[in-house]
Structure 1
Amino acid sequence: MTHSPSTSNTNAIVINNNSNTSSNTLLANLAATNVSTNVKDSTIAMELTDVNQEDPNTLMIDEGAELPPPLETQSAKTIDTVNTLVNAPPLPTRARILLPSIIIPFSIMGLLIRLGLVSIETFAGQQVFALAWPQFIGCLLMGLFVSTRGWIDGGLVLPSSASKGHWIGAFVYIGLSSGLCGSITTFSSWNLALFNELINTANVSRHPLQNILSALTELVATLALSISGLQLGYHLGEALLQLATNWGLGSRRRSHALSSPITASQPSSILDIAPALTPPSPPVPPNRWTILDIVIVSAAIVLWTGVICAAILVPRESRLSWRHIVLACCFAPAGAILRWYLSRFNSRSKLFPLGTFAANLGGSIILAAIVCLQHTSAAGGKSTLICHVLSGLQDGFCGCLTTISTFALEIKSLPRRASYVYGVVSVVVTQVFMLLIVGSYMWTRNSDDYVMACTS
């Protein structure tokens, strides 16, 4: 009896030791699980980082702006994860020739659409400026193509040739977005119009504050039309995907997985939808040339050569007013292809698309120089052909080198602060160069001398 308390205490100690041992074992298992999870997360992060590394010898299929927008409350790590998930794989070697060949016809088509819309909108008593409709239509189509990108990428061929069709569809998407939409809209002509309203180059009798108000009206109206057109196009794309799903033409999961939405749901985190944004692993692109590749490249060469021959051989006596349009078609592919090549620099900065900024600024500077040449007596007095070439460079090369559709998409996609900085810097820097080039040229001459020498 005297030892029972000791025995009881010993048993209690044993029980406590067993309990402590179980607790320690449980804690050890949890710690091991956490370590394993962290290792897996680190491995996944390393894999994603490796995928996202840019090879300087390869071109990316995406313009850097075409990414879903991060929410304001997201961390930098979350944004990096989503950007990594939606990055496109590097292009095969043959794409260096194939992609520009696809851009050529779409850029000419976009130029003709822009010139046609401007011509239709130019009339006495027009309510809005002529460039309003091209900017709106181009951004609407951009939103449509971005939202239906999965459909374009994978829905162009039969399942038996899905491996090749995926890459042909991706090439066509670049032709539609960079070639067509980028050529319908123009950043340089918009900024030239802003500058003309700001300094009143038309010498309209009005107060200087009214000049500022007129420029702000064109600025705000263009941005509003562009972003609203982008959003409307995205809604139309969603409707088309829904109709295709209802009619059994495609998988809803596939369509939404390969599409890049312009807007994100505010209540949910972007990590919740990140798996849906991850496309299935694409097939390895063929490095050898196919018959379709040869047909596309040959057709592009024939088209561009034919346009150049038409510009040279068109009679001066007949249809003289069409010469500058044909010349613009000659210069349009060069501007669109250069803009697409510059877009590879968008990945250098996550908060400021350097490629689009360089294309828009460079095209605007070239346009400012062309405007000065158009106001010289030598251009209009000695050669009408010079006027047509300058007009073709203005509408074709500068108009297709610069773009509002990608600019609006980038503003919509970037974080709020970065989008404001990018938009303000793009417009302000361009206006400064317009002031230095066109303004200095105009103010060093009498007001009567600053007249358009090229009228055709």
Structure 2
Amino acid sequence: MIFNPVISNHRLSHYIHVFCTFTTFCILGTETRQAITALSSYTPAFVTAPTVLWSNCSSCILMGIMQSLNAYTWMKDHQVLFLGVTTGYCGALSSFSSMLLEVFEHSTNLTNANIAYHTKLPNRAYGIMEFLSVLLVHLMVSMGSLIFGRQLGKEVIVAYGSSAFSKPYSPPSDTVTANAGDVDTQEMEKNILEFKFKTPAPFFRKFFDIVDKLACALAFPLIILFVVLCAYYENYSRGKWTLPCLFGIFAGFLRYWLAEMFNKTNKKFPLGTFLANIFATLLIGIFTMVQRGKKHSFTDVPIVDSLNSCHIVSALISGFCGTLSTISTFINEGYKLSFINMLIYYTISIATSYCLLVITLGSYAWTRGLTRPVC
């Protein structure tokens, strides 16, 4: 076989481009989720805090916009940027495992507030109401946000931001093709005909170029920055702002790899995203048990009673588990499936995840008990 250095260099630069862009957006997505959760945690709040509802809502709106832009070929020259924004940023900004943990804690009366103030539901049957309340609000808000984002992208951005016509688009063989379940080629082909191959205005093309190059250039500076900050500051910021972003990088790439490997095996059931969400939910149940579980049933001392260890566990919960699981891709995949297949996919994912939380966190809480963490 003849070795072609030009092709090799091209592929190497492409992989570096994907790695750097995806890394940057994973960091930014994790940091944004932490910031939105902090901003929405106030008293009295209409939506009880802490919650990832606002993060899931925001990520699904952005995911919907990006789906429309890609379907109308706006992102044809920026497929790596599209991957970074959708699978990287939106995937890290939203969290399936955190949502399921909220569902479990509210339905079983095991939130931090319940334990701190000894509040109880009228009876255990009201746990069903709590289960449905948290779950349906999250799912309906997320699905509504995705649809709103798609219509916003189609009816506003594409309709008023296009400037010229272009030739029909065929994705090159060396680009990012599957995008971890966040692209629909059939929808793209249908919408190309509808909008007559419209292309974005020069302002948008220039904007995409700048964001793409900036995201690629910021990857290693951001990694170095957060490593230095994590090593220097030993206060609460280690568990809330610095370590989660570093854990989020590994989680984001693991989720992307699982989707690339397994999503193609069954078009009616996105197995890769399912595995990522299930694994993240299992881990978040274990980490929460370690952080909030009583060391002994007769004391309120948690298993992790060191402040620094507690911050690390918090970073694993919000950074690794939160980024490994995703609502934006989960909702987007369901949107593209038939209604029956969507119900099957959602039901199996949610039921399996909830059962794992009952087995891990629930069994410990009901035998030894939970308490408030030290951080």
| Interval of TM-score (by shorter of Structure 1 and Structure 2) | 0.7 to 0.9
**CA distance in structure 1 between the aligned counterparts of 2:187 and 2:228, rounded to whole angstroms:** 52
Quick check: 2:65–2:149 contact (8 Å CA) kept in 1? yes
Matched residues in 2 for 1:241 and 1:422: separation? 31
Corresponding letter in the other structure for 1:323: R
Identity %: 24
Structure-2 separation of matches of 1:400 and 1:389: 15
Q: Which residue of 2 aligns with 1:63?
A: none
Which residue among 368, 371, 374 is the counterpart of 1:451?
371
- Amino acid corresponding to residue 327 of structure 1 in structure 2: L
Indicate yes or no: 2:309 matched with 1:386: yes
1:153 correspondence with 2:62: no
Is the Cα contact below 8 Å between 1:137 and 1:229 reproduced in 2? yes
Cα RMSD, aligned residues only? 3.2
Say whether residues 1:356 and 2:265 are aligned partners: no
Q: Equivalent of 1:432, from 355, 359, 362? A: 355
> Is the 1:197–1:212 contact (alpha carbons within 8 Å) kept by the matching residues of 2?
no
Question: Separation in 1 of the partners of 2:264 and 2:311?
Answer: 37
Distance 2:321 2:340 in 1: 29
Query: What is the alpha-carbon distance in structure 1 between the residues aligned to residue 189 and residue 92 of structure 2?
Result: 36
TM-score by length of 1: 0.64
* One-letter amino acid of the counterpart of residue 199, structure 1: T
Counterparts of 1:151 and 1:334, CA distance in 2: 30
Residue equivalent to 1:339 = 255
Change (3 A) 1:272 1:148: closer
Distance 1:297 1:235, change over 3 A: closer
Q: Distance in 2 between matches of 1:303 and 1:271?
A: 34
Displacement after TM superposition at 1:408 (Å):
0.5
Shift of 1:404: 0.3
Q: Is the alpha carbon distance of 1:294 and 1:143 closer, same or farther for their aligned partners in structure 2, counting shifts above 3 Å? A: closer
Larger Rg: 1
Q: Which amino acid aligns with 1:451?
A: T
Give the 3 Å change call, closer, same or farther, for CA 271–391 of structure 1 in structure 2: closer
Give the structure 2 partner of residue 138 of structure 1. 59
1:199-258 deviations in Å (ceiling 9; x for gaps): 11125242222111011011111111001100111111111111123xx2x438869x9x
* 8 Å contact from structure 2 (residues 290, 304) kept in 1: no
Instruction: Assess if the C-alpha contact under 8 Å between 1:98 and 1:296 holds in 2.
Output: no
1:114 maps to 33
Return closer, same or farther for 1:327/1:273 CA change in 2, 3 Å cut-off.
closer
Q: CA deviation at 1:152?
A: 4.6
The change in CA–CA distance for 1:182 and 1:272 in structure 2 (over 3 A counts) is: closer
Distance 1:177 1:407 in 2: 12
Amino acid corresponding to residue 251 of structure 1 in structure 2: F
CA distance in 2, matches of 1:229, 1:307: 31
Q: Distance in 2 between matches of 1:338 and 1:140?
A: 24
> TM-score, normalised on structure 2?
0.77
Which residue among 256, 274, 283 is the counterpart of 1:366? 283
**Equivalent residue, structure 1, for 2:175:** none
CA distance in 2, matches of 1:310, 1:408: 34
Amino acid aligned to 2:289: C
Match of 1:311 in 2: 230
